[in-house]
Amino acid sequence: MADVERTIVGFHQDVEGNWVADLDCGHRQHLYHRPPFQLRSWVLTEQGRSSRLGSALSCRLCDRAELPDRVRLLRTSPVWDRSSMPEGLGRRHRLPAGTWGLLTVIEGELEVRLWTTPPTSQVLPAGASLVLAPLVDHRVEGTRSARFVLDFLSVEPPIGDEVESDPEDLGGDPACWAQLVCPGCGAMLPGMHRSGCEEGG
């Protein structure tokens, strides 16, 4: 399986003085210069590191769908089933950069298709959870008996800046924007409520 590529947003040193790249997904990766096997002389200078900001780096932790250590809960969705979940979840979509998802099945079975390399499909039984990485296309293919929730998690501290980003500037597909989901009926906002929803009046 090919590694997912992420963007370098910063660098820091570990306790031993080795340089570590901070990635936009929230993971960190050591970048050693150990000739003749690891040749990264650029990491030893400030100019060299600055020149690599914004460049891509393969992230095997994202490829394995491992949550970063530094995440916080943004919001938890209502309990959804096949009929109440937002229509966008049933179409190919993705979470925005810097936002992770944790999908947990409460009862029944839930099938999730992931457009990884190669594409995969997982059937989750009741009690199982699945980590959804940012910018990886996926689709929920639930059965009528499936009930599930989705936690939205943000990388901490804010990526590449000390100021919180505007959630509407994060990119990604609206189907997974936590702030655009009605807590009452699970419909996508604004102005799109399901029949009988008290939030929509």
* SS3 readout for 22-78: EECCCCEEECCCECCCECCHHHHCHHHHHHHCCCEEEEHHHHCCCCCCCEEEEEECC
Q: Which two tokens stand for residue 50?
A: 């600055």
Does residue 114 belong to any structural domain of this protein? yes
Does residue 197 belong to any structural domain of this protein? no
Q: Look at residue 37 in the predicted model and tell me its pLDDT.
A: 86
Q: Look at residue 118 in the predicted model and tell me its pLDDT.
A: 82
Q: Look at residue 70 in the predicted model and tell me its pLDDT.
A: 86
Contact partners, residue 77, CB within 8 Å, separation at least 6? 149, 150, 151, 152, 178, 181, 186
State whether residue 194 is helix, strand or coil.
coil
State whether residue 174 is helix, strand or coil.
helix
One domain, residues 96 and 175: yes
Does residue 151 belong to any structural domain of this protein? yes
Does residue 194 belong to any structural domain of this protein? no
One domain, residues 44 and 81: no
One domain, residues 56 and 85: no
d(CA 201, CA 186): 15
Among 16, 41, 63, residue at a domain's last position: 63
Which one, of 58, 23, 13, 5, lies nearest residue 160 by Cα?
23
This prediction's pTM? 0.72
d(CA 18, CA 32): 7
**Residue 32 belongs to domain with CATH number:** 2.40.50.740
**Residue 117 belongs to domain with CATH number:** 2.60.120.10
Does residue 196 belong to any structural domain of this protein? no
Task: Name the β-bridge partners of 72.
Answer: 154
One domain, residues 24 and 103: no
Q: How many domains does the chain have?
A: 2
Q: What share of the chain is helix, strand, coil (3-state, %, to 5)?
A: 15, 35, 50
d(CA 175, CA 90): 9
Structural domain that includes position 105: 71-180
Per-residue confidence in pLDDT tens, the chain, 201 aa: 456 889 999 999 999 999 999 999 999 999 998 888 888 999 999 999 999 999 999 998 988 889 998 899 999 999 999 889 998 999 999 999 889 999 999 999 999 999 988 888 999 999 999 999 999 999 998 776 899 999 999 988 644 444 333 434 344 555 554 445 554 555 444 445 555 666 555
